[in-house]
Amino acid sequence: MAGLVLALLLAGLAPAGAVWPQPQLVREWPGGGRCRLSPARFRFGYASSSAVGPGCAVLDQAFQRYWRLLCGFGPAAPEDARSWEPLCTELLVSVATPHCDGFPDMDSVESYKLSTSEEPFLLSSESVWGALRGLETFSQLVWRDEDGTFYVNKTDIVDFPRFAHRGLLLDTSRHYLPVRAILETLDAMAYNKFNVFHWHIVDDPSFPYESTAFPELSRKGAYSPATHVYTVNDVKLVIEYARLRGIRVISEFDTPGHTLSWGPGAPGLLTPCYAGSIPSGSYGPVNPTLNATYQFMAELFREVSTVFPDFYLHLGGDEVDFTCWRSNPEIRSFMQKMGFGQDYAKLESFYIQRLLNILSSYGKGYMVWQEVFDNGVKVKPDTIIHVWRENAGPYQQEMARVTTAGYRALLSAPWYLNHISYGQDWQAAYQVEPLEFEGSPEQKELVIGGEACMWGEYVDVTNLTPRLWPRAGAVAERLWSNETVRNLQEAYTRLAAFRCILLRRGIRAQPLFTGFCNPEYSGF
C-alpha cells in the first residue's frame, strides 16, 4: 500500500478514497471494486426523491462547476481503451428540505451521505449546503491511472463537520485585493470546505468600501477612489459568489481603533490629539464623547446591516491606543464627568456598549475581538467572542474564561497564516486542538469553531494565494474532521496530493516539500 501511495503522489494523484478534509467515515468495499468514468458522458442530476430540482441555482451551478473540474482533470483515455470495465455515468443528488434560494447561516446543516458502490451514484443530504460538501468530496474521489482512464472506487461516506464556523479572514485595507482574487479565494475555500469568509474590509491604511450613505469615506480614504474600492456591485458579486458555494460573508468594520482612514471622509469623527495644550494635528480613535459619533455610526451600520445579509457583523473592538484620548482635554473632562477616573478602558466600554445597542436595534448579532470581553463590556448572551491574542497569556486560558462566562468562542490565535517560517509550518496549525483547555463539557460546546487569518501588511495579490494554500487546509481539516484525525505523516500524504488537485484547478498553491505534481501549475 505504501508503494501505491508513493506512486500516486509522484503522479500528482490522491490515493483512492483520500479526501481533504478527511470525512468522518469512509468505507471502501471489501475486495475493492471500481468503475470507469468518462467525463464526456458523466452527468449530475436530481434524484426523484429530492425536494429540490432543476431551477435550484445553488445546485444547478454546482453541477456545471464540478463537471468542468472533472473534464479539466486532463486528457482522458480513448473511450474504447477499457471498454470491458463497467462505466459510471451518473451521480444523483437528493436534498430533503426544499430551501434553495436563501443564504447559509450558523445553523445550516452540512452533513451528507455519498455512495459510489453502485450505479447511479447517490448523494443525499438534508440541505443544499450539505450537497455542496458532498459534491466536493466526490470530485476528489475521482482518480486517473497512468493510461489516462478515470475511475471511482466503490466507497460509502458519511460525513459532517465537527464545528459550525470554519472561517478565513482576508484583510483588504492594508493591501487592496482585486475582486478576482477574492473570488478565487472563495473557490479554494469551497474546495477545503470552509464556510465563512470574514471580510476585514477597512482599517487604518485605507477605506475601500464604497458607502452609499457616506461616499466621502472611500473617496478620501481609499488608496485610489477610481481603482481601489469595492463598489455596491462588487460587494453583491462577492456575497452571491460565496452563497453559491455555501459560504457566509461576515463583514468587519473595526472601531473605535483602526479607523484613521475614516477621518478624511468623516470630519469630526476621530479624536484630535494634543501636544500639551495645543492640537498636534494628528488623530486617534473615534471620539466617543460626541452624540454626532453615534448618529454617524447608526447611519453607517444601518447600511452595512442591509448590504451584508448574514445575521452577524464583526465589530472589532481590538487594540485601542488610549494615548490620544489621554492627551485631549475634552476627553479628560468627559472622563471626570462620567466618573471614569483615569480608566480609559471604561471609556472604550462606554463606546462599545452604545455601538452594540445600535446593532441590536437592527436585529443583528455581533462578533467582537476578545478585548471587548476582557474590558467587561455588557454584551448580549449570543455574542461571539473572537480569541486572537497570545501575548497576554496562553489563548487556552482566554478560551476557558470566555466559555466560563457563558459566551460562545471563536479561535484564531494559533492560526495567523500571515506569520511564516522556513519549513512545514502547516504542521503547527494542524496540531492545534480548539477544545484543549480546562473546562466542562458544557463549556466545550460553546466553541463554535475558528478562523485562519491572513492579515495584509506584507500580503497583496502577488503572494496571497501561495501563502494561503495549502497551509490554510491544515486549519480546514482541524475544523471539519474528527478530533482523532491527527497523524502528521498520513496528513502530509493527503495534503500533498490535495495540493496537486488545487494546482490542476488553477490555484497557485505552494509546495509542502520536495516533489512534483503531474501536471504542474499551468497558469504561466
Active site residues: 319
The number of angstroms, rounded, from the C-alpha of 65 to the middle of its chain's C-alpha atoms is 20
Other residues' Cβ atoms within 10 Å of the Cβ of residue 292: 12
Q: Where are the alpha helices (DSSP H) in 193-287?
A: 216-221, 232-243
Q: How far apart are CA 359 and CA 379, in angstroms?
A: 11
Q: Look at residues 377, 436, 439 and name the one whose alpha carbon lies nearest to residue 403.
A: 439
Q: What does the block give as the cell for 454?
A: 491572513
Other residues' Cβ atoms within 10 Å of the Cβ of residue 451: 24
Other residues' Cβ atoms within 10 Å of the Cβ of residue 129: 26
Q: Look at residues 405, 453, 399 and name the one whose alpha carbon lies nearest to residue 429.
A: 453
Tell me the residue type at 403: T
- The four Cα atoms 495, 20, 23, 52 give a dihedral, to 10 degrees, of 180
Q: What does the block give as the cell for 449?
A: 469553531
Please check whether residue 314 is in contact with residue 368, taking contact to mean a CB–CB distance below 8 angstroms: yes
Q: How far apart are CA 143 and CA 106, in angstroms?
A: 33
Q: Which residues of 271-289 are buried (b: 16+ CB within 10 A; e: fewer)?
A: bbbbeeeeeeeebbbbbbb
Please check whether residue 142 is in contact with residue 73, taking contact to mean a CB–CB distance below 8 angstroms: yes
List the Cα angle 408/412/413 in 5-degree steps.
115
DSSP 240-263: HHHHTTT-EEEEE---SSS-GGGG
Question: Residue 93's beta-bridge partner residues?
Answer: 46, 123
SS3 category, 123 = strand
The number of angstroms, rounded, from the C-alpha of 361 to the middle of its chain's C-alpha atoms is 27
Cα separations (Å) of 40 from 14, 37, 92, 140, 150?
A: 22, 9, 17, 18, 11
Q: Look at residues 252, 314, 328 and name the one whose alpha carbon lies nearest to residue 285.
A: 328
Size of the chain, expressed as the number of residues it contains: 524
SS3 category, 390 = coil
Q: How far apart are CA 158 and CA 481, in angstroms?
A: 12
Q: How far apart are CA 158 and CA 19, in angstroms?
A: 13
Q: What does the block give as the cell for 20?
A: 481533504
Please check whether residue 35 is in contact with residue 119, taking contact to mean a CB–CB distance below 8 angstroms: yes
